[in-house]
Amino acid sequence: MKDLKGRYTVVNEATARLFNLNPEDLIGRTAGEMYPPDIAELVAGHDRDVLERGEAINFDEVLEVDGVRKNLSTIRFPIRDYKGVPEGVCTISRDVTSERQLQRQLEKSDKLAAIGKLAAAVAHEINNPLTGVLAYAEDLLEDAGDNEERAEDCRVIIRETLRCRDIVRSLLDFSKPLTTDFRRADLNRVVQNTVALVSKLAIFKDIDLRRDISLDLPAVHGDSGQLQQVVLNLLVNAAEGMNGRGMLWIVTSYSERERECVLEVADDGPGIPEDLIGQIFEPFFSTKRSTHGLGLAVSFSIVDRHGGRMVASNRDQGGASFKVILPAAEEE
């Protein structure tokens, strides 16, 4: 409960625990003394709305306490004296953070299911005409001869047709269970093979790619080909984010306590906008205009099939970090 000046007059144990304080620590304090300015203004504004309307109002609120975001389902209503004159506001909130997270997971599952149905329905229908377009465009390119303008037009058609085909293939890879060949896989060898592959790409010409490989890294249980696709996606994604210039690290390590193998790809580029970190693994989401936003989503799906997880963050020194965390294989 608060008085008309927004000072807490009554605080229960649950509210105090939310702030890692004792109830008496909150008495007499205002929202402005407990929250960042934007959240404090939001809370104070909701209190004003209740007093101005003179009735109970439901709010969905997001508060940040010690860097942790909390979703609250809140009802606020005016407190009146025996004459009916408002003398404060009472707030009752329920922590629905876990429910909101579950809701987002369900929404994501529905989205993935819809994409799967869409991909299955249109992939073959699109691939057939694309194959025809590609074949005729290649014939036209051969017939163009010395007509450079016409040849360039044909190259554009071929390039964009191949891009459409890649998008359809990525959709299928993302939406349907891949045929997997799970066996003991050497993550270090996957890294070495992938680095050897990307070193031939033009975008890596001005990138200083460094490796820090753990020699005592145990094997993982997985499909080496699919894991190589994940590493390739991460390296290319980092190179594009750095505009082909800078430092790029790929590191493997082992957590003996968790029995997990960790592969990290880090760069010194611009990093990821903080408000977008939670969205970058969603399909069709990309911070770059030149991509279709499926590379990270496909990688996330592959790692999930391997019983692992992916974590994205910004480095304290600048740049982005992507970690692939996989359970170590059982001893033979």
Query: Dihedral (C-alpha) 308, 309, 315, 321: value to the nearest 10 degrees?
Result: 70
- Same domain for 151 and 229: no
Q: Return the percentage of the chain with pLDDT > 90, whole number.
A: 35
124-158 per-position pLDDT tens digit: 677 778 888 888 988 998 888 888 888 988 988 98
Residue 34 lies in a domain: yes
pLDDT at 56 over 70: yes
- Same domain for 167 and 194: no
Range of the domain at 217: 183-327
For the segment 178-197, the average pLDDT, to the nearest whole number, is: 84
Residue 87 lies in a domain: yes
105-114 per-position pLDDT tens digit: 667 666 666 6
Token pair listed for 261: 């193998």
Distance CA(273)–CA(17), nearest Å, equals 31
- Angle, helices 295-305 vs 224-241, to 10°: value is 150
Distance CA(261)–CA(230), nearest Å, equals 15
Task: Give me the pLDDT at residue 180, please.
Answer: 63
Task: Give me the pLDDT at residue 178, please.
Answer: 54
Strands of the chain, DSSP E: 2-3, 57-65, 68-80, 86-95, 183-185, 206-212, 220-222, 245-255, 260-267, 309-314, 320-327
Greater confidence (129 vs 219) lies with: 219
Task: Give me the pLDDT at residue 268, please.
Answer: 92
Angle at 280 between CA 274 and CA 282, to 5 degrees: 140
- Same domain for 109 and 67: no
Phi, then psi, of 315 in degrees rounded to 5: -80, 145
Residue 19 lies in a domain: yes
Which region among 172-181, 193-202, 235-244, 318-327 has the lowest average model confidence (pLDDT)?
172-181
With a CB cutoff of 8 Å and minimum separation 6, the contacts of 62 are: 69, 70, 71, 72
- Same domain for 188 and 111: no
What pairs with residue 309 in β-bridges? 325
- Same domain for 322 and 193: yes
Task: Give me the pLDDT at residue 293, please.
Answer: 56
Our count of domains for the chain comes to: 3
For the segment 244-256, the average pLDDT, to the nearest whole number, is: 92
Residue 118 lies in a domain: yes
- Last residue of some domain: 95, 115, 150? 95
- Same domain for 286 and 193: yes
For the segment 66-71, the average pLDDT, to the nearest whole number, is: 79
- Same domain for 152 and 45: no
For the segment 17-29, the average pLDDT, to the nearest whole number, is: 87
For the segment 281-305, the average pLDDT, to the nearest whole number, is: 72
For the segment 293-318, the average pLDDT, to the nearest whole number, is: 86
Which region among 34-38, 85-89, 184-188 has the lowest average model confidence (pLDDT)?
34-38
pLDDT at 179 over 60: no
CATH for 125:
1.10.287
Greater confidence (226 vs 52) lies with: 52
CATH for 308:
3.30.565.10
Residue 129 lies in a domain: yes
- Same domain for 156 and 61: no
- Same domain for 319 and 300: yes
- Same domain for 154 and 267: no
Rg from Cα positions in the chain? 27
Q: Which of 179, 180, 176, 178 is nearest to 120 (CA)?
A: 176
CATH for 36:
3.30.450.20
- Same domain for 117 and 81: no
Task: Give me the pLDDT at residue 174, please.
Answer: 57
- Last residue of some domain: 69, 95, 121? 95
Long-range CB contacts for residues 293-299, cutoff 8 Å, separation at least 24: 294/167, 294/170, 294/171, 294/174, 295/170, 295/233, 295/236, 295/237, 296/233, 296/237, 297/174, 298/170, 298/173, 298/174, 298/229, 298/233, 299/229, 299/230, 299/233, 299/234, 299/324
- Same domain for 285 and 169: no
Residue 332 lies in a domain: no
Task: Give me the pLDDT at residue 289, please.
Answer: 55
Which region among 64-78, 104-118, 263-277 has the lowest average model confidence (pLDDT)?
104-118
Task: Give me the pLDDT at residue 90, please.
Answer: 96
- Last residue of some domain: 95, 117, 145? 95
Q: Which of 172, 237, 226 is nearest to 198 (CA)?
A: 237
